[in-house]
Amino acid sequence: MSEPSPTSPAGAPGPSDEWPGLPLFPLGTVLFPGGLLPLRIFEVRYLDMIRRCQREGRPFGVVTLTQGHEVRQAGTGPEAFHPVGTLATVAEISSPQPGLLMIQAHGGSRFQLQSSQQLKHGLWVGQTQPLADDPAVPVPEDLQGHAKSLAHLLETLSAHAADARSRMPVRSPWHLDDCAWVANRWSELLPLPLETKQQLMALDNPVLRLELVGDLLSPAPSGLR
Q: Is the pLDDT of residue 72 over 90?
A: no
For residue range 6-64, what is the model confidence (pLDDT) as tens digits? 333 333 344 445 788 999 999 999 999 999 999 999 999 999 999 999 999 999 999 99
Is the pLDDT at 2 greater than 50, yes or no?
Answer: no
pLDDT at 9: 34
- Residue 90 near residue 53 (C-beta atoms within 8 A): yes
The pLDDT assigned to 124 comes to 94
Question: Per-domain residue ranges for the chain?
Answer: 22-130, 141-224
Q: Which CATH number fits domain 141-224: 3.40.710.10, 1.10.4060.10, 3.40.50.720, 1.10.150.20?
A: 1.10.4060.10
Name the band, by pLDDT with cuts 50, 70 and 90, for residue 68: confident
Segment 172-218, tens digit of pLDDT: 899 999 999 999 999 999 999 999 999 999 999 999 999 999 999 87
Nearest to 21 by CA among 108, 114, 97: 114
pTM: 0.86
114-127 average pLDDT score:
93
Cβ contact 132:40 at 8 Å: no
CATH T-level fold of 22-130: 2.30.130
**155-168: per-residue pLDDT in tens?**
999 988 877 667 88
| 60 HSE (CA, 13 A, CB side) | 29
Closest to 195 measured CA to CA, from 81, 34, 69: 81
Residues in the chain: 225
> Quick check: 128 pLDDT over 90?
yes
pLDDT at 96 (0 to 100): 93
